[in-house]
Structure 1
Amino acid sequence: MKIYVDADACPVKDIVISEGTNAEIPVILVTSFSHFSNAEQPAGVEIIYVDSGADAADYRIMKLAARGDIIVTQDYGLASLGLAKGCIVLHHKGYRYTNENIDQLLQTRYLSAMARKGGKRTKGPKPFTAEDREKFRELFKNTINR
């Protein structure tokens, strides 16, 4: 098992790194070159840099991930692909994507995009809270301890 993080805008990288390395599970952060850093990572953490294209990180994660791996992302499209490949996919706000909820999430995203295209204003995501952070930590710990 490996853990892949869609890391460009992931607010829980520190939790994934801490808990993943404690459990001795390799953590792979996939991020664009625009987020390049020379910072040292703990043993068991690898950073893969990709082009800044819209879905470059998603494509790399899907190329590398295998059945049973964990993917952390807020991208519904990547979540859908990960589920189809047999991966466990988690959102940073503390919920697990499933075959039961992904269609509704994708439909909502599509309808919001169509509304914006038609000139309507839609609400953005709610701010990330300390409660969301703890909810993710618990979900992540339970997931890697299975």
Structure 2
Amino acid sequence: MQNNNRKPIILVDADACPVKEEISSISHTYHLDVYFVASYSHVVKNEILGTWVYVDDEKESADLYILNHARKNDVVVTQDLGLASMLVSRNVYVLSPRGKQYEESEMELRLHMRFLSAKERRQGNHSKGPKAFSLHDRENFVHSFQKTLSNIAGILE
């Protein structure tokens, strides 16, 4: 994975990713390699097709692995806004498991909103949290992921 002239790959922050099967299936269609990055505490018995990379249980280990291995035109699937903000500035495609493609132009606002939410929680004001992951979220992800991989395929031709 170290070669700068390699074809794009897909890196997945796999610990809490609800769309691993979709990622594996769709990426196979586009002949792109998938790396599922998970901590040792989340070892999967029935691993989904792809390369599984296990990292330490430390809080940011999977994020650091992805950050150190993602290159221009790669695709990363993560829910982590901090990781997303670092990657989009490197021309990495970043999608959430709900199908949201992160753009560099929106990251400052998103990070500021995350900061304000964390500040509220520290003051004891807790919101409901994110809504449950739905079939609609899964469909949005599949659509966005296919569109992103199609765009990458067009760039490579």
Range into which the TM-score falls when normalised by the shorter chain: over 0.9
- In structure 2, the CA distance between the partners of 1:38 and 1:126, relative to structure 1 (3 Å rule), is closer
Aligned partner of 1:67 among 66, 72, 75: 72
Runs of 4+ in 1 over 2 A off after TM superposition: 37-42
Measure how far apart 1:122 and its partner are: 2.1
**Uncovered stretches (5+) of structure 1, i.e. residues with no partner:** none
Measure how far apart 1:103 and its partner are: 1.5
Aligned partner of 2:26 among 15, 19, 27: 19
Check whether the contact 2:99–2:144 (CA below 8 A) recurs between aligned residues. yes
Q: Name the aligned partner's letter for residue 30 of structure 1.
A: V
Q: Name the aligned partner's letter for residue 103 of structure 1.
A: E
Distance 1:104 1:125 in 2: 18
**Which protein is richer in strand relative to its size?**
1
Does 1:101 find its partner at 2:101?
Answer: no
Q: How does 1:4-83 map to 2 (within 5 A)?
A: 4-42=11-49, 45-83=50-88
SS state at 1:85 partner:
coil
- In structure 2, the CA distance between the partners of 1:70 and 1:107, relative to structure 1 (3 Å rule), is same
**Uncovered stretches (5+) of structure 2, i.e. residues with no partner:** 1-7, 152-157
Q: Over the residues paired in the alignment, what is the CA RMSD in angstroms?
A: 1.1
Q: How many residues align?
A: 144
SS state at 1:145 partner:
helix
Scaled by the length of structure 2, the TM-score of the pair is: 0.88
